[in-house]
Amino acid sequence: MSEQIHANKIAIVTGACGGIGRATAERLRNDGATVVGLDINPDVVTNLTGERLSGAVCDISDDAALKTAVDKVIADHGGLDLIVANAGIFKSGEYIDAETDSWDLHLKINLTATQRFLKLLHPRTQEERQAAQHHHHRLAQLRRSGTRRFGLLRHQSRRDPTRPRGRSRAR
């Protein structure tokens, strides 16, 4: 049993029906995360099952489908901490002589879909960063005001007229 270094984290792994994606999804789950694997292959639903591991069908090159899938993970699990943009295609030997359609499809899935995936999550990470900055700012304010109040209390207590005068501490 590996160390639970991803305990309480929510993860999405794309291209998780098999190969590296499935192994990554299972590893993250074993490390404590709750993992949803997305794949265009419907077998992802039956391949990824068990505690904190599930699969959902999604063509990551379909912007609307990807957004729906990501929104569902966040709604179902209350957040998203880790993403692994693993889905991809590769036709060995194709490069200069690749047909236009094949070349375009490779770019669409391997490059564009990954950029869209990150773009989709970017506003969220920005919001969380701003929330964290606000939190730190507020904490700093509270610390400063706490210090001031503490200073004031000490000041007042030294001048407290109700305190009996002249009493020695060692009674």
Ligand X SMILES: NC(=O)c1ccc[n+]([C@@H]2O[C@H](COP(=O)([O-])OP(=O)(O)OC[C@H]3O[C@@H](n4cnc5c(N)ncnc54)[C@H](O)[C@@H]3O)[C@@H](O)[C@H]2O)c1
Q: Which residues bind ligand X (CB under 6 A)?
A: 14-15, 17-21, 38-41, 58-61, 86-90, 109
If residue 84 lies in a helix (H) or strand (E), which one and from where to where? strand 82-84
Nearer to ligand X, 58 or 170 (CB): 58
Distance CA 76, CA 117 (A): 19
CB 89 within 8 A of CB 105: yes
Q: What count of other Cβ atoms lies within 10 Å of the Cβ of residue 85?
A: 18
Please state the closest distance from residue 117 (CB atom) to ligand X, in A.
10
CA angle 149, 155, 156 (to 5 degrees): 90
Nearer to ligand X, 14 or 34 (CB): 14
Nearer to ligand X, 30 or 112 (CB): 112
Please state the closest distance from residue 135 (CB atom) to ligand X, in A.
36
